[in-house]
Amino acid sequence: MVIKAPEGTRDLLPNEALFWERFKRTAADVFGRCGYVLIDTPIMEQTELFVRGIGEATDVVSKEMFTAISGENLKTLLEGGSIKAKSRLSLRPEGTAGVVRAVVQHDLVPLGAPPAKLMYAGPMFRAERPQKGRQRQFNQIGIECLGADDPAVDAEAIIMCMRFFEAVGIPRADMRLLLNSMGCEACRPAYRELVRSYMQQHAEQLCGTCMTRAEANPLRAFDCKNEACAAVMEDAPKITDHLCDDCRAHYARVKALLDGAGVGYIEDASLVRGLDYYTRTVFEVQVDNGMGSQNAIGGGGRYDKLAEEVGGRPTPGFGFALGYERCVLALQAAGMEFPEAQRCDLFVACVDDTTRTAAFELAQACRDAGFACQMDYQQRSLKSQFKLADKLHARYVAVLGPEELSCGVAKLRNMQSHEEQETLLAEVAARLA
Ligand code: AMP
């Protein structure tokens, strides 16, 4: 039986792997212009980090985390024993917690220092039910800015996120930028109580999950996909009507900066996002392209308390992550195809076996001069070597026969113009340039 990739994972075949590399490079360029630099944290972390950072009651932590366990520890557990807390590991379901942990651990934002602006790219893991646009291993690119609570950080990052999507080719007209403020520990608790009592008044119209949520975290009910629940929650009290003065001023400044930059947004008081750590600004970018509820290509927000949750000193932060696979779906819906993975400047074709060694040496000399060269390894006929060169989109083909070899030349054919010229072997590389 053929063994396939695990459910909810996918291979990035060469053309797509090249596209992913370019995608990351574009991010490094766009984000780099705002001062963001790359950080690379482990794919697994202590489970406790996600429990404390993301929140125990979130779907991501309570249902969707993959545990990583050594064979030895698994055996201990199966035999009814227990393992140390530091051996309880999970594959990262998102990137923020790990980056904030690294910032705290390495003191990347000492007191009085400018904010740390960090970006990351790599796989995340969530044990969700796989479907189009929802995988168990997916790639995210994200940024985190730690050490400043200035609304300019929020606005700069949101604009940067939109610029990135445009730079990779997602038309602005296809994107919707949703914006909200989630308040802070001064104003959110009272608001949460308001929502809870509103939900209790409408208990018979809400689903069981929402009513359970009403206890642990009523704001989660805004995310419920059930139509009846959505209708009820539409008339729920709006957080933006209950922000404290500081949060209202922060939100107003973010909006003013976006307005000034001409970046349009839709205020959506029901945008609460699924993770516990957000305070103040949250945003999400959605596309319309038949992806149904998987239409979010990116999102994030401010998390001013997260560093403390993982044991650091108060360090306000802002971050976002975008989903690579969902961007690909959006781009493919707009007609994008992956680039050709292989570059071929020269294909060296042999007329017969007597010229193989010279062909090998010519290819090598041209590679050493910086050109991508290929040749045949399967004793194909000259005709089928030309077919192969076509398939590889070779710019030039050098034909080497016994006659050419005796004169120290090759017939060099330009595959676009079909011009052919006898060229000294020593001058082939110069001609390619
Ligand atoms: P989140 O960390 O949930 O805010 O996700 C940020 C972005 O990652 C989303 O907007 C999606 O584009 C992407 N994403 C989240 N979960 C998945 C998943 N299971 N499969 C594919 N992409 C995902």
226-262 residue pLDDT tens = 889 989 999 999 999 999 999 999 999 999 999 999 9
Could you report the per-residue pLDDT of 10-25, keeping only the tens digit for each? 999 999 999 999 999 9
Compute the distance between CA of residue 198 and CA of residue 235 in angstroms, rounded to an integer.
Answer: 9
Query: How far does the centroid of ligand 1 lie from the alpha carbon of residue 323, in Å?
Result: 5
In degrees and rounded to multiples of 5, residue 182 shows phi and psi of: -100, 10
In this prediction, residues 208-230 reach a mean pLDDT of 85
Closest C-alpha among 260, 93, 251 to residue 182: 251
Q: How many angstroms separate the alpha carbon of residue 94 from the centre of ligand 1?
A: 8
pLDDT of residue 416: 93
Q: What is residue 114's predicted lDDT score, i.e. its pLDDT?
A: 96
pLDDT tens sequence across 55-87: 887 888 888 999 999 999 999 999 999 999 899
CA distance 64 to 55: 12
Strands (E), 188-265: none
288 pLDDT higher than 90: no
> What gap in Å lies between CA 389 and CA 374, rounded to an integer?
8
Note the pTM of the prediction, 2 decimals. 0.92
Among 7, 12, 124, 302, name the best residue to mutate to test ligand 1's pocket (greatest count of ligand atoms within 8 A of Cβ): 124
| Residue whose CA lies nearest to ligand 1 atom number 15 | 323
pLDDT of residue 220: 84
Mention every residue, 6+ apart, whose C-beta is less than 8 A from residue 315.
100, 103, 104, 109, 146, 147, 307, 308
Q: At what angle do helices 208-216 and 188-201 cross, to 10 degrees?
A: 150
Tell me how crowded residue 419 is: count the other CB atoms within 10 A of its CB: 9
Check if 321 has its Cβ closer than 6 Å to any atom of ligand 1. yes
Mean pLDDT in the chain?
A: 93
Residue 5 pLDDT > 90: yes
Answer yes or no: are the C-beta atoms of 379 and 363 closer than 8 Å: no
Distance, in Å, from the CA atom of 159 to the CA atom of 153, rounded to the nearest integer, reads 10
How far is residue 346's CA from residue 428's CA, in Å, rounded to a whole number? 9
Quick one: 293 exposed, middle or buried, by C-beta within 10 A (0-12, 13-18, 19+)? exposed
Q: How do residues 313-356 score in pLDDT, each as one tens digit? A: 999 999 999 999 999 999 998 899 998 888 999 999 999 999 99
Angle at 15 between CA 10 and CA 16, to 5 degrees: 40
Least confident of 68-72, 134-138, 274-278: 274-278
* Unique residue bearing structure tokens 């060469």: 14
Q: What is the pLDDT of residue 270?
A: 87
140 CB within 6 A, ligand 1: yes
Q: Quick one: which atom of ligand 1 is closest to the CA of 140? A: 8
Task: Work out the burial of residue 308: count CB atoms within 10 Å of its CB; fewer than 13 is exposed, 13-18 middle, 19 or more buried.
Answer: middle
Classify burial at 214, counting beta carbons within 10 Å of its beta carbon; exposed 0-12, middle 13-18, buried 19 or more: buried
pLDDT for 99 beyond 80: yes
> Tokens for 74?
């698994």
Residue 120 CA, ligand 1 centroid: distance in Å: 14
What is the predicted pLDDT for the residue at 226? 87
Query: Does pLDDT of 135 surpass 80?
Result: yes
Give pLDDT tens digits for 383-421: 999 999 999 999 999 999 999 999 999 999 999 999 999
* Contact predicate 276/57, CB 8 Å: yes
Which atom from ligand 1 is nearest to the alpha carbon of 128? Answer: 19
Whether the CB-CB separation of 120 and 110 falls below 8 Å is answered with no
The rounded Å distance from CA 362 to ligand 1 centre is: 49
Instruction: Find tokens 């990116």 and name the residue.
Output: 298
How confident is residue 274, by pLDDT bands cut at 50, 70 and 90? low
Q: What is the mean pLDDT of residues 88-115?
A: 96
> Quick one: pLDDT at residue 290?
62
Residue 376: C-alpha distances to residues 117, 286, 351, 356, 384 (Å): 49, 48, 11, 9, 10
How much of the chain exceeds pLDDT 90, in percent?
A: 82
Q: What pLDDT does residue 81 have?
A: 93
Helix, strand or coil for residue 309? helix
Give the model confidence (pLDDT) of 346-376 as tens digits.
999 999 999 999 999 999 999 999 999 999 9
Is any atom of ligand 1 closer than 6 Å to the C-beta of 301? no
Ligand 1 atom with the smallest distance to the CA of 321 is 6
Percent of the chain with pLDDT over 70: 99
- Establish how many alpha carbons lie within 13 A of residue 292's alpha carbon, considering only the half-sphere containing its beta carbon: 5
CA 433, CA 398: separation in Å to the nearest integer? Answer: 14
Q: Is 278 in the pocket of ligand 1 (CB under 6 A)?
A: no
